[in-house]
A and B are shown apart, each in its own frame.
Chain A
Amino acid sequence: MTLRENILSQLPNTIGKQHQRVVAIDGPRTARCEVDQCDQLAVAVYELVLETSELANVEVAALHRASEALCKRVTYLLEPISPIETDADSCIVQMRSSPPQQHENGRFYYELMLRRGGAVTMYRYEKQPGSIRQRVAANITHEVLGRLVDDFNTTVEEVNGA
């Protein structure tokens, strides 16, 4: 069973419950999803992480290339994603919604990180005027969650193959 299939198969168990954690393991890769709420169709994801030791010794250039490829694939969220900053010292690439979604009462954006060590993570933030940003749940369908897990998986493979 792939990571995607494994995660999606566990979602029905979280329906009607709050703050659930769903974990799927495939060899050295672990997909972890913090579920805030879930119903038959959609899921509110507080954190989505794909961890793997396969990214332990990668170069920052490889991470940067993989992040650009990931941004091109992830076109199905609420906003397009772009690499924003690359920290060569810590070997981390930060990607965000570009531009963020603007509302009357604030801004919303996704933040994805690809880091040596390693992991691919995704969070959603809300920034209201006059206050610091808050992490909020990203509302996505089950299908989109599965697709994200697949795309994170592909990114790890790309970095390894570089």
Chain B
Amino acid sequence: MEIERDQRRFKQIVRGRIRENLRKYITHGEMIGRKGKEAVSIPVPKLDVPRFRFGKNGSGGVGQGDGEEGDAVGKPGDGPDGSGGAGSEPGSGHLMEVEVSLEELAAMLGDELELPRIEPKGTANVVAEKSKYNSVRQTGPESLKHFKRTYLSALRRQISTGNYRPDDPKIVPIKRDKKYRSWNDIPKPQVNATVIYLMDVSGSMTDDQKEIVRTEAFWIDTWLASQYKGVEKRYIIHDAVAKEVDEHTFYHTRESGGTRISSAYQVCADLIEKSFPVADWNIYIFQFSDGDNWGDDNRQAFELLGEKLLPASNIFCYGQVESPYGSGDFIDALHQEYGENEKLVTSEIPDKDGIYKSIKKFLGKGK
């Protein structure tokens, strides 16, 4: 069909436009608010349609009028001023909303950042039973009656018993003709993954910094969800004290307490121990802070990191968002202590433009 071909072509153009601007979408969090369950609505700049462009009045060109050959040509702007008015057409900044599935968005992200596919832990396969309607039985609820099979069975019976009359082809199923759809339980291997986000919400973390964390977490979520079915997400916030919270609280809380990163590590370690057996789960930990840790807390934090979190996780990502004061030095201490550990990935995020590089660094290992 012509219209379907046009529609496909239009979709390709739109997808191409999104790919072109993906970097902009990654670094600006505007689409997060547009996220539905399966798709994201993305504003795409209006696609240009060819059209005539009119020049300025009196700016020359071939004309018709009262002039004689040899008359001087008037200069632009010599004529009387016209009165302008507001245009009735929409401006060129008008945006078109396009729905893109999260899976497709993840694929675009993977292409754009050249992200490798994730290799799940070998021992993390958990077998789950999944029902599939792939057989027929003699008994069952009427709602699952297989009409075609029932009809054929009745037809076969009537022909074999001589009750079928071609001039009056009535087929009347009796109880033993009835067939019902039935299911079998099929073992289906599943890979379990959990993403645990840790965020510093102390007084020195501003709203701008939390916006950076929010945007980065959205893209990490999108990518990991495309790699694993049913990713479990957990959120931990901390200042001097840490607690597990829901997603909304994670992004919208601001405290004024001091910064003790060890408190978040402790809550995270307890959560893993309680809910996510290391042998069965792929565990991803993403921590975001301005790195302005108080006093001698680094020592305690590193103990927990080295003994509990790094051994339990596939990868431990620490993103240091630069505070207005630039006073965070946790990342330097982390490098000194665990710089050689291959599970640790660190990234400094100076501003929104840094999100792009940071995501690539975090997810580029394919773990």
Does A142 make an interface contact (CB < 8 A)? Answer: no
Contact of B325 with A85 in the complex, beta carbons under 8 Å: no
Nearest CB of A to B307, in Å: 22
- How far does the alpha carbon of A85 sit from the alpha carbon of B325 in the complex, in Å? 13
- How far does the alpha carbon of A132 sit from the alpha carbon of B328 in the complex, in Å? 8
Q: Which A residues are CB-close (under 8 A) to B258?
A: 85-90, 92, 94
Does B40 make an interface contact (CB < 8 A)? Answer: no
A86-B203 contact given A92-B258, A94-B258, A132-B332, CB 8 Å threshold: yes
- For window 122-142 of chain A, which residues contact chain B by CB distance below 8 Å? 125, 127, 129, 132-133
- How far does the alpha carbon of A127 sit from the alpha carbon of B323 in the complex, in Å? 11
Does A116 make an interface contact (CB < 8 A)? Answer: no
- For window 226-279 of chain B, which residues contact chain A by CB distance below 8 Å? 239-240, 256-260
Does A21 make an interface contact (CB < 8 A)? Answer: no
Does A32 make an interface contact (CB < 8 A)? Answer: no
Q: Which B residues are CB-close (under 8 A) to A100?
A: 324-325
Does A77 make an interface contact (CB < 8 A)? Answer: no
Does A84 make an interface contact (CB < 8 A)? Answer: yes
Task: Say which size band chain B's interface belongs to.
Answer: 10 to 19
Q: Which A residues are CB-close (under 8 A) to B350?
A: 129
Contact with B along A88-110 (1 / 0, CB 8 A): 11101010100110000001010
Contact of A83 with B240 in the complex, beta carbons under 8 Å: no
Contact of A127 with B329 in the complex, beta carbons under 8 Å: no
Contact of B256 with A87 in the complex, beta carbons under 8 Å: no
Contact with A along B186-200 (1 / 0, CB 8 A): 000000000000000
Contact of B326 with A107 in the complex, beta carbons under 8 Å: yes
Does B147 make an interface contact (CB < 8 A)? Answer: no
Contact of A133 with B240 in the complex, beta carbons under 8 Å: no
Task: Say which size band chain A's interface belongs to.
Answer: 20 to 34
Contact of B325 with A96 in the complex, beta carbons under 8 Å: yes
Nearest CB of A to B141, in Å: 62
- How far does the alpha carbon of A109 sit from the alpha carbon of B324 in the complex, in Å? 10
Which residue of B203, B260, B326 contacts A84 across the interface (Cβ within 8 Å)? Answer: B203
Q: Which A residues are CB-close (under 8 A) to B239?
A: 85
- How far does the alpha carbon of A56 sit from the alpha carbon of B358 in the complex, in Å? 45
- How far does the alpha carbon of A85 sit from the alpha carbon of B297 in the complex, in Å? 15
Contact of A99 with B324 in the complex, beta carbons under 8 Å: yes
B202, B240, B325: most-surrounded residue (chain A CB, <10 A): B325
Which residue of B240, B259, B260, B325 contacts A107 across the interface (Cβ within 8 Å)? Answer: B325
A85-B324 contact given A94-B258, A132-B329, A132-B332, CB 8 Å threshold: no
**Nearest-CB residue, chain B, relative to A131:** B326
A88-B325 contact given A83-B203, A132-B332, CB 8 Å threshold: no
Contact with A along B318-357 (1 / 0, CB 8 A): 0000001111010010000000000000000010000000
Contact of B325 with A133 in the complex, beta carbons under 8 Å: yes
Nearest CB of A to B210, in Å: 15
Q: Which B residues are CB-close (under 8 A) to A83?
A: 203, 256
Contact of B326 with A133 in the complex, beta carbons under 8 Å: yes
Which residue of A92, A107, A129, A132 contacts B324 across the interface (Cβ within 8 Å)? Answer: A107
Contact of A85 with B327 in the complex, beta carbons under 8 Å: no
Q: Which A residues are CB-close (under 8 A) to B327?
A: 125, 127, 133
- How far does the alpha carbon of A142 sit from the alpha carbon of B294 in the complex, in Å? 33
Does B93 make an interface contact (CB < 8 A)? Answer: no
- How far does the alpha carbon of A85 sit from the alpha carbon of B204 in the complex, in Å? 7
Contact of A86 with B326 in the complex, beta carbons under 8 Å: no
**Nearest-CB residue, chain A, relative to B332:** A132
A90-B326 contact given A85-B259, A132-B332, CB 8 Å threshold: no
- Where the two chains meet, the residues of B that have a C-beta atom closer than 8 Å to any C-beta of A are 202-204, 239-240, 256-260, 294-295, 324-327, 329, 332, 350
Q: List 18 A-B contacts (CB under 8 A).
A: A84-B204, A85-B202, A85-B203, A85-B256, A85-B258, A85-B294, A86-B256, A86-B258, A87-B240, A87-B258, A90-B258, A100-B325, A107-B325, A127-B325, A127-B327, A132-B332, A133-B325, A133-B326
